[in-house]
Amino acid sequence: MQNHQPVEPPPQPASPPSGLQLVFSSKLSLPIFTGTKIVDAGGSPLQILLADTATGTRMDNKVKVEIVVLDGDFPEEDRSSTAWTSEEFGRNVVKERTGKRPLLAGDCLTFTLRDGCASLGEIEFTDNSSWIRSRKFRIGARVVRDGGRGLRVREAMTEAFIVKDHRGELYKKHHPPMLEDEVWRLEKIGKDGAFHKKLAAEGVNSVQDFLKLSVVDPLKLRKVIKPTLSKL
């Protein structure tokens, strides 16, 4: 009779070590202008969370967090959105231009995260993003280690975005436009442009005037802005 040796079970892959990550709870409200409060898509202050890397569960560890500006080209497109080191993250932090104020101004750009959640308060950009190669910034968050090593906490970052000079906000279109808005707030009608002047000459100064004319005398409106009427 042959002796059968017990078959050893195949080795199981080691479980990845548990880790933590910082997360922005929602996307930004765009576009962003210098000197204007940065908020999320719902109009609320940005909120940062501390979560378990594997499960996404919110954690209540107490950590000190720093808010920074990142180059919009980081990380590279062909890499996983999480495949960076703390050193790489640090190398892509963008500082202000020589002679300029710090890029971000606000109530508190370094704070202690308690109970796994914190709102950033009022923060704003002091300079546009046109002077770096990517022409885009990201907002990032990282743990300040105070010289200690501790557990690796993956940094958070927002989507990449352009920061425009505040004067550009004066010419920003409204979505959706309000009835009392000046007519140039509509798409395809430039402030003080040819169509704006033609409409003003016909007494069409507001969005409400525009809509009223489109009902009362659509042919007249078509003659004024015929080339762009279908695009409005």
Parallel, antiparallel or unpaired: strands 32-33 and 163-164? parallel
Phi, psi of 6 (to 5 degrees): -60, 135
Residue range 192-209, pLDDT digits in tens: 788 888 888 888 888 898
In a domain, 77, yes or no: yes
Residue range 105-133, pLDDT digits in tens: 988 899 999 888 999 989 999 999 999 99
- pLDDT, mean of residues 9-18: 44
Amino acid, res. 98: T
- Domain hosting 89: range is 20-168
On average, the pLDDT of the chain sits at: 83
In a domain, 65, yes or no: yes
72 with 88: CB under 8 angstroms? no
In a domain, 14, yes or no: no
CA 203 to chain centre: 39
In a domain, 13, yes or no: no
In a domain, 48, yes or no: yes
Same domain assignment for residues 119 and 177? no
Q: Work out how many domains the chain is built from and give that number.
A: 2
In a domain, 5, yes or no: no
Same domain assignment for residues 162 and 199? no
Over 70: is that where the pLDDT of 147 sits? no
DSSP state of 2: P
Same domain assignment for residues 160 and 196? no
CATH code (residue 44):
2.60.40.1930
| Percent share of the chain, pLDDT over 90 | 45
38 with 124: CB under 8 angstroms? yes
- pLDDT, mean of residues 80-88: 77
Same domain assignment for residues 134 and 98? yes
